Structure 1
């Protein structure tokens, strides 16, 4: 298990603060009081470090399959009108990432990045219906060569920064890293209305490993 590069500065800051707190407590407080605080500071470092773990996984690639772009739980499967890019009806599959999930995101399909935009916004809880439109988010569209898949990284109540590696015109490989949402949140996949959905509400999914949908040839 590696630590993701996006966590380096945050982990270093947390470690420094924890060391200062522990040193001050050991200096100013009786040992019986200082030890619990020092242990709590160490636990905070381990907790923050766990957010930035980056697992090594087998890279799966299937032309007509849409893989999960994130670890988490399927919290929505519904037909919606997508008004930013397609301006038509799509099936949206939403994956909610809790504080305990891996927070790396991956490209669900291979192709060329046709569209990318970072929207500033609110920080509603990620499962709120309006978070897909009102929260800080990125929108990425991958052109598979005639078929296009749109997905959104959405910040939540805790998350305050979304990182995306998508660049318009660049070729991306299926299940390669597309970014990171610091401290969790949600990813929405907008699929063609005739896609065969392979998951159901409440399913636990694993990024790069779980098949979300199968596209018509």
Structure 2
């Protein structure tokens, strides 16, 4: 397991701030407060390490398969109007990431990047119905000779930064990394009507391994 590059600054700042807290507690506070400070800061640092971890995994790359772009739990499967790019009816599949999940995102299919756009916005909880259209978010569309898939990183109540590495005309390779959400929250996918969905509500999925749809 390694740590993601997006966590470097956060971890350095935590080390500096937590070291200062522990020094002040050790110097000026009672041993009980010193012990409490050490436990709390140690726990928070371990949680941050866990958040930015990148586990070593083996990925399959089958044809005609859309893989999960992130770890998490499927919370939405429904037909809806996608208003940003397609502007027509699509099948939406949403995956919620808890603070314990790995938070980098992988390409769900291979193809050419046709569209990318970042939107500043609110920080509603990830399961809020308006999170897809009102929260901070970043949209990517990848197209190959069989299907076009839109996937959208969405920040949640704890998230304050979305990172997307994709640019238009990039070559997307399934299971390669395309982004990261710091302390955040959810990824939506939009498929053409008629696409076979191979997941179900409440199912836990793994990025680059779990099959979301086939075409």
Same fold (TM over 0.5): yes
Alignment TM-score, normalising by the size of structure 2: 0.97
Structure 1 runs (4+) deviating above 6 angstroms are none
Displacement of 1:138: 0.6
In structure 2, the residue matched to 1:184 is 184
Alignment of 1:154-173 (within 5 A): 154-173=154-173
CA distance in 2 between counterparts of 1:185 and 1:32 reads 36
1:116-152 residue CA offsets vs partner (Å, 9 max, x unmatched): 0001111111111111011110110001125211000
Matched, 1:108 2:139: no
Aligned length: 215
Match of 2:13 in 1: 13
Q: Determine the C-alpha separation between the residues in 1 that align with 2:33 and 2:90.
A: 57
Q: What's the RMSD between the two structures over aligned residues?
A: 0.9
Q: Deviations over 1:140-183 (max 9, x none)?
A: 00011252110000001110100011110110100100110001
Q: Give TM-score, length-normalised by structure 1.
A: 0.96
Shift of 1:60: 1.4
**C-alpha separation between the residues in 1 aligned to 2:120 and 2:37?**
37
Q: Please tell me whether the aligned partners of residues 71 and 97 of structure 1 are also in contact (alpha carbons under 8 angstroms).
A: yes
Instruction: Give the corresponding residue for 1:86.
Output: 86
Q: Which residue matches 1:140?
A: 140
Displacement after TM superposition at 1:191 (Å): 0.7
* Separation in structure 1 between the aligned mates of residue 83 and residue 63 of structure 2, nearest angstrom: 26
Partner Cα distance (1:24, 1:39) in 2: 15
Gaps of 5+ in 1: none
Structure-to-structure mapping, 1:39-118, within 5 angstroms: 39-118=39-118
Q: Is the 8 A contact 1:101 1:184 kept in 2?
A: no
